[in-house]
Amino acid sequence: MGDGGGRVAGVRFVKMQLGEADETGRRRPEPLRGSEHLVECDSVIFSVGQRAGLGFIPESVGVGLTRQGTIAVNPNTYAATRRGVFAAGDVTSGTAFVIEAVEAGHKAAASMHRYLQGEDMEPELKPPLPVVRMTKEEVTERLTRGEAHLTPRVRMQTLSHNTRIQSFDEVNLGFTDKEAQEEAARCLACGVCSECLSCYYKCGVNAIDHDMVERIEK
């Protein structure tokens, strides 16, 4: 709702209630008469729900869709119902996080590679890798022995409230070199691999394989 001067004055809402079940058994929301009310405000942020526009896919091509209006795929390979067609991201999962779409894209690309090479489409199952999970008792023992010290988290500097409302600049300013070292010093120094992958990226010649697990050979 506007204030007559070109600025927003509020948002008019209406309460919803579940209606009668349709042919699928789903009860759809319906507006409740007489429940309209106004919430005053001076700014509105739109969060729009969207779905993929799949009208460009003819039914004759054999690419199946789900009841939710997404492309039906094998969850392991991202292969669609038509051979040689792959899909990933929001067109298969519905609205989700960007990083999930990126992950799905990588997996779909790997499946395409296997498909073009004539390999088995199903990816190899990776064994669970060891990750440090220290109990409170173990942490207490380490503190008692002086191997670690209880220190508060380093507070990151941020833009002031008056500054951040005037731009889209990043609010968190990051650590200084001194602050970063202080925060890193809070590490419990577990002494075993925690899958941080630092060694993998530092190596540079692909000599480290984090998918390998301990095995005995004769």
pTM confidence score:
0.47
Based on the fold, state whether residues 31 and 80 are members of the same structural domain. Answer: no
- Classify residue 216: in a domain, yes or no: no
Based on the fold, state whether residues 149 and 191 are members of the same structural domain. Answer: yes
- Classify residue 126: in a domain, yes or no: no
- Classify residue 13: in a domain, yes or no: yes
Based on the fold, state whether residues 76 and 111 are members of the same structural domain. Answer: yes
The 3-state DSSP class for residue 27 equals: strand
Q: Are strands 37-40 and 10-13 parallel, antiparallel or unpaired?
A: antiparallel
Q: How confident is the model at residue 7, as a pLDDT? A: 92
- Classify residue 11: in a domain, yes or no: yes
Is the separation of the CB atoms in 53 and 99 below 8 Å?
Answer: no
Q: How confident is the model at residue 133, as a pLDDT? A: 77
- Classify residue 22: in a domain, yes or no: yes
Based on the fold, state whether residues 42 and 18 are members of the same structural domain. Answer: yes
**Which two structure tokens, joined as six digits, stand for 41?**
């405000």
Q: How confident is the model at residue 213, as a pLDDT? A: 77
For 163, the domain range is 136-203
Cross-strand partners of 27: 21
Is the separation of the CB atoms in 164 and 171 below 8 Å?
Answer: yes
- Classify residue 166: in a domain, yes or no: yes
Domain count, the chain: 3
**Which two structure tokens, joined as six digits, stand for 19?**
């209606």
- Classify residue 168: in a domain, yes or no: yes
Based on the fold, state whether residues 159 and 102 are members of the same structural domain. Answer: no
Based on the fold, state whether residues 155 and 194 are members of the same structural domain. Answer: yes
Based on the fold, state whether residues 198 and 163 are members of the same structural domain. Answer: yes
Q: How confident is the model at residue 51, as a pLDDT? A: 75
DSSP 3-state percent helix, strand, coil across the chain (nearest 5): 25, 15, 60
- Averaged over successive runs of 10 residues, the pLDDT of the chain (218 residues) comes to 91 92 83 93 81 84 89 94 94 89 94 94 76 83 86 93 90 94 84 77 87 85
- Classify residue 105: in a domain, yes or no: yes
